[in-house]
Amino acid sequence: MQRYLIAETSDAGSYERSDNYLCHITIRDALTRATSTPSSVLITIRNPCGTALVTNQAMTSAGSGVYSYDYTIPAAAVYGRYEVEISTATYTQRYITDFYVFPWDANNQVRRISGVGQNKSISDADLNQIIWDSYEEALAKCFRHHYDEKPECSCNLESCRCGSITCTGFDGVNTTFWTKTSDLADQNGDGSITGYGDSSCVTDVFMRWKDCSGVCHDGYVSVLDAECGKLKLTQDGTTAIPSSYNWVKLEYWTQSPDFKQRLLFKATNYLAAHEVLLRFGELERATAADLVNAQNVKYVNPERMEKKYKKIMKKISVPKASGVGGGIDPYEGE
């Protein structure tokens, strides 16, 4: 009988930038259930882009079958789900767990708002997934989507009006252009506004261009000024788009001038709390104490959390356009 690794870790919790993530694991033999001490225990940590931040690093032994690894989350870490993979030289099976990095103290705030305590009737891992899904939903509804947009030409003076003078377009030399709408948004919620090429995983501004041979390419975009919509557009980060081009199109998102990030986080808390309370209505394994707390909130107003979420979103979302046109997402608001 082949023997496999059984790994037990403490609940992942949620973290913010510059926090310390401590991975604490107990390894057991699947056949005997006894703690096992492999010759080596290695850990790999990948960020939401799939990039390995830690690769096959040895974990520290803290007793029979007990291992730990202390990882400092970077100050500019990408927000989202981080995958943790643990492997050993003794067993063929790999153990996968995760943790989340949020831009605010999301887990504790949602537990407080929803009335669900720390009794683990819903694990931190499950709650983190609900919060992140809610965050993505709020982001999608908060910003306006622009696509198939021709970049504005680059003027000699940034204050000029492109319609009144001759501008420098895609001439094989110029690389500076503008979006038609300013106030670019961090549509993926990773904490920065970036273009494809600068960061091809967590990207907020995309460019696609077609050459005169009919071949389409993903261009490189550097965001020079998000508030003004100023961009550097190139083929590969350096080479300008040739003058013999067919078309160039942009895709990006913009935010309302009234947008406030703290209100987005607050709205996400209420949406996640709403989803948690719906889950409590379905979970038979929830503890009696937590059910009492959750039910008290639900019975005061069954839709209270969702209404609060929608009310906050109205304050910070870009007003919806009437009809399709001007590069606005026709499905926005659905």
Stronger pLDDT, 220 or 328, i.e. the higher one? 220
pLDDT at 120 over 60: no
Euclidean distance between CA atoms 231 and 229, whole angstroms: 6
pLDDT category at 39 given cuts 50, 70, 90 is confident
Mean pLDDT across 91-117: 86
Q: Which of 80, 91, 53 is nearest to 69 (CA)?
A: 53
pLDDT tens figures, 204-217 = 999 999 999 999 99
pLDDT tens figures, 130-180 = 999 999 999 989 999 999 999 988 655 455 555 555 567 899 999 999 999
Global model pTM greater than 0.85: no
pLDDT category at 284 given cuts 50, 70, 90 is very low
Give residue 16's Cα distance to chain centre.
Answer: 13
Q: What pLDDT, on a 0 to 100 scale, did the predictor assign at position 318? A: 83
Q: What pLDDT, on a 0 to 100 scale, did the predictor assign at position 285? A: 44
Pair of tokens at residue 203: 């990207």
Query: With pLDDT > 90 as the criterion, what percentage of the chain qualifies?
Result: 51
pLDDT category at 29 given cuts 50, 70, 90 is confident
pLDDT category at 325 given cuts 50, 70, 90 is very low
What is the enclosing helix (H) or strand (E) of 107?
helix 106-114
pLDDT at 296 over 60: no
On the 0-12 / 13-18 / 19+ scale of CB atoms within 10 A, 163 is exposed
Mean pLDDT across 243-272: 94
Q: Which of 201, 288, 306 is nearest to 280 (CA)?
A: 288
Euclidean distance between CA atoms 238 and 254, whole angstroms: 26
For 31, the 3-state DSSP assignment is coil
The single-letter DSSP state of residue 226 is: T
Mean pLDDT across 104-127: 82
pLDDT tens figures, 70-89 = 999 999 898 999 999 998 87
- Average pLDDT over the chain, rounded to whole? 82
